């Protein structure tokens, strides 16, 4: 079952985030078992050329490639979709108009108004008709709920035809409340409770980005009802593994050195 079908059935899916442009990063993460991977163009220095290469690798590994845009920009949407992205994650969708603008940019007429061209997605012109049929049934639009304005308009945003689900951006959402990073603040908790209440009424999957590589937090979000979950990001996986290993090495070496000194002292008595 592909990602679009799982979203329609509101089934649990777990993916992750890529901000480092090296192809090996995408290949390693794609082969790790994630169902989808997001190439991040908002908070990274990844170029459109590098994004195409990452999309290609993710797709060839049998994983769904998505792109988080730098803005709700129809031109950027057209370019990443033509590069082969299966869908987009769109920042700062705060209104019905924002959501309609995204859907319009993803789909060809008569559903939307995306410009029609031939690139990698269309097999470089070899199968335009096949891509057109695929796009209609399989393209994915995920809106990011990362501002209190979006929370206030969430039910209406999710009612827009073509929006497949949403994902909470916790850092920006807390920032919009003037409490950046304070996830346990009462105002933040209240906003998240409102999101959860609405998502129970609306038959579209709710998503959350568990930014830190914390499995317990991921399980908590599943228990709370989130079904489209992004688990951490490439550089945090790398940084956590490095720091944990170095701490262990230093700890083991420290114990080993103490034991070595004790043996030396004993031997010299």
CA 56 to chain centre: 17
Which secondary structure element, helix H or strand E, spans residue 50, and what is its range?
helix 48-60
Of 43, 86, 185, 209, catalytic? 43
Q: Is 114 strand, coil or helix?
A: coil
| Alpha carbons within 13 A on the beta-carbon side of 94 | 9
C-alpha distance across the termini of the chain, in Å: 71
| Alpha carbons within 13 A on the beta-carbon side of 135 | 26
The vertex-96 CA angle with 36 and 114, nearest 5°, equals 60
Token representation of residue 130: 């096949």
Token representation of residue 232: 């951490």
Examine residue 228 and say whether the peptide bond preceding it is cis (omega within 30 degrees of 0): no
Q: What Rg, from alpha-carbon coordinates, does the chain have?
A: 22
Distance CA 137, CA 12 (A): 20
- Is 147 designated active site? no
Instruction: Give the count of beta carbons closer than 10 Å to the beta carbon of residue 218.
Output: 19
- In terms of Cβ atoms closer than 10 Å to its own Cβ (0-12, 13-18, 19+), residue 34 is buried
| Cβ(80)–Cβ(102) below 8 Å | no
Residues with catalytic roles = 43
């Amino acid at each position: 079952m592909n990602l679009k079908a799982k979203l329609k059935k509101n089934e649990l899916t777990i993916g992750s985030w890529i901000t480092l442009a090296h192809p090996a990063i995408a290949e390693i993460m794609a082969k790790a078992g994630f169902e989808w991977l997001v190439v991040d163009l908002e908070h990274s220095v990844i170029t459109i050329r590098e994004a195409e290469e990452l999309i290609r690798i993710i797709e060839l590994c049998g994983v769904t490639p998505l792109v988080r845009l730098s803005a709700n920009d129809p031109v950027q949407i057209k370019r990443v979709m033509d590069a082969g992205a299966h869908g987009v994650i769109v920042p700062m969708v705060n209104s019905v108009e924002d959501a309609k603008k995204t859907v319009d940019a993803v789909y060809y007429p008569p559903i939307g108004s995306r410009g029609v061209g031939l690139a990698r997605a269309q097999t470089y012109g070899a199968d335009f008709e096949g891509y057109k049929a695929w796009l209609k049934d399989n393209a994915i639009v995920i809106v990011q709920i990362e501002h209190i304005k979006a929370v206030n308009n969430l039910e209406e945003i999710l009612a827009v035809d073509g929006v497949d689900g949403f994902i909470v951006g916790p850092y920006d959402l807390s920032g919009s409340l003037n409490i950046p990073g304070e996830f346990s603040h009462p105002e933040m908790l209240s906003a998240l409770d409102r999101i959860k209440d609405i998502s129970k009424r609306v038959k579209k999957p709710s998503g959350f980005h568990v930014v830190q590589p914390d499995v317990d937090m991921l399980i908590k979000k599943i228990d709370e009802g989130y079904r489209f979950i992004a688990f951490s990001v490439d550089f945090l996986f790398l940084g956590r593994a490095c720091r944990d290993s170095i701490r262990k090495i230093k700890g083991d070496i420290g114990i080993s050195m103490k034991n070595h000194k004790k043996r030396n002292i004993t031997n010299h008595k």
